[in-house]
Amino acid sequence: MSSSLPYQRTSWVQVTVSLSFAMLLSWLPWHGVGLALRPDFVALVLLYWSIYSPHRVSVGIAWGVGLLADVADASLLGQHAWAYAMMAFGGNVLHRRVQMLNLFQQTMQIFPLLLSSYLLFALVHWLVNESFSWLYFIGCALTALLWMPLTVLLQNIGRPPANQDPL
């Protein structure tokens, strides 16, 4: 599978469009338990690009997207930004290793990255507000489970029509 990875062909269009879709999904009017369990689509797509296109989506881009997420979620400015930047840093550093693995092993590799981003977010929240919800981390696990379908989706969308070999 790794022989047909499309990361060299990725363009800004793909990155922007996929990130916009992730934002649309994340900013749907979730509430109640659905909100607590909501997978962080933006984080997942950022992580994907930071692994498969590390020279395009680096720490800075993730930070900027996180800043927008901070405004959208009315969290402290820099809270999402820092968490996403850390995650993108992990993705950039580990990108060669993760790309060599199969999808299940990839999930195992990205779960700690996602968890670190969630932990950082929760830590900042806890330091400022002194309150905390364990339900929040179930969302992290759900996000990690979505890695497999997302990777298949983005790899197939990113592939030009002339290069349609089966996965």
Partner 1 sequence: MDNSQPVRFFKRGYSPSVQIAFFSLLSLALLFMDARYQYLGALRYVLSAFVQPVQRLVTMPSSVWQEASDFLYTQSSLTRESARLQQQHALDGSQLQQVRALVAENQQLRKLMDVQAHSSYPALFAEIVYAERDVFKRKVLVNKGTQANVQAGQVVVDAAGVVGQVTRVYPWLSEITLITDKDQSVPAQVLRNGLRTIVFGSGDISHLALRYMPVSADIQENDVLVTSGIDGIYPPGLPVARVSKIVRDPAYPFARIECEPLAGVDKQRFLMILSGAPVLPERPEAEVAGGDGHLGKRNKASMKP
Q: Could you list the residues that contact partner 1 (CB under 8 A)?
A: 5, 8, 20, 23-24, 26-32, 35-36, 38, 54-55, 58-60, 63, 67-68, 71-79, 81-82, 85-86, 89, 92-93, 96, 124-125, 128-129, 131-133, 135-136
Q: How far is CA 89 from CA 60, 86, 152, in A?
A: 9, 5, 23
Q: How far is the CB of 13 from partner 1 (least distance, A)?
A: 18
Residue 129 tokens, joined: 């507000």
Nearer to partner 1, 33 or 153 (CB): 33
Nearest approach, Cβ of residue 3 and partner 1 (Å):
8
Number of C-beta neighbours around residue 27 at 10 A: 14
Distance CA 86, CA 157 (A): 27
Shortest Cβ 144–partner 1 spacing (Å): 18
At its nearest, how many Å lie between partner 1 and the CB of residue 131?
5
Q: Of 144, 158, 155, nearest to 40 (Cα)? A: 144
Alpha carbons 151 and 136: distance in angstroms, whole number: 23
Nearer to partner 1, 26 or 107 (CB): 26
Shorter beta-carbon distance to partner 1: residue 28 or 142: 28
Helix axes 147-157 and 41-52, enclosed angle (nearest 10)? 60
Specify the residue, 85 or 150, whose C-beta has the smaller distance to partner 1: 85
Structure tokens at 14: 């793909």
